[in-house]
C-alpha cells in the first residue's frame, strides 16, 4: 500500500512540474488567477506536510517567486514521500486551519486530501490556460500511467 500512495505523490509531483513548465513557457499569457492557483496548489501540499510534521507552514494563498515553484514542488514530494514511508497513517494529528478552527484527522486522510486537492486545482488551472489560448496539460492519472 505504501508504494501505491508514493505513486500518487509521484503523479502529483510530475503533473505539478508539467503545469509549472507550461505556465513558465507562456508566462506572458498566464493571468493572475493561474499564477495564484499554481501557488495555492503547492502551498496546500506544503501546509499539509507541515501540519503532519509540526513544521512552519506557508500561507494558503501566498505568492512565491515563480523561479522557486519547481523547488517547492520537489521539496513537497520528498516530504510527502518521507511521511508515507515512515509515519503511522492511522495517527491522528490536531491542527488549526487558516481561520484558526481546530480539527483532527489521520495522517492518511491528510495525505489523501493533499493529492485530491492538487488534482482539483490542476483542473481549474487547465480551464484558465485554455481560456488564455494556452494548450492545457492532460493531467489525468491514466495518462501518467500510460
Question: Is 70 within 8 Å of 92 (Cβ atoms)?
Answer: no
Question: Is 57 within 8 Å of 50 (Cβ atoms)?
Answer: yes
The reply to whether 121 sits in an annotated binding site is yes
Sole residue written with cell 493533499? 114
From CA 129, how far away is CA 26, in angstroms rounded?
A: 9
Question: Is 137 within 8 Å of 18 (Cβ atoms)?
Answer: yes
The reply to whether 74 sits in an annotated binding site is no
From CA 67, how far away is CA 55, in angstroms rounded?
A: 23
**Binding residue ranges for a divalent metal cation:** 40, 117, 121
**Binding residue ranges:** 40, 117, 121
Amino acid at each position: 500500500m505504501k508504494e501505491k500512495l508514493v505513486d500518487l505523490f509521484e503523479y502529483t509531483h510530475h503533473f505539478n512540474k508539467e503545469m509549472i513548465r507550461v505556465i513558465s513557457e507562456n508566462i506572458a499569457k498566464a493571468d493572475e488567477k493561474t499564477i495564484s492557483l499554481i501557488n495555492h496548489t503547492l502551498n496546500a501540499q506544503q501546509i499539509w506536510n507541515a501540519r503532519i510534521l509540526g513544521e512552519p507552514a506557508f500561507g494558503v494563498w501566498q505568492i512565491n517567486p515563480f523561479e522557486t515553484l519547481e523547488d517547492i514542488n520537489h521539496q513537497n514530494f520528498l516530504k510527502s514521500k518521507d511521511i508515507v514511508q515512515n509515519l503511522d497513517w492511522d495517527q491522528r494529528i490536531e491542527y488549526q486551519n487558516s481561520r484558526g478552527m481546530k480539527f483532527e484527522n489521520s495522517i492518511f486522510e491528510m495525505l489523501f486530501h493533499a493529492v485530491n486537492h492538487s488534482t482539483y486545482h490542476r483542473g481549474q488551472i487547465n480551464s484558465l490556460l485554455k481560456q488564455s489560448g494556452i494548450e492545457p496539460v492532460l493531467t489525468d492519472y491514466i495518462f501518467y500511467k500510460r
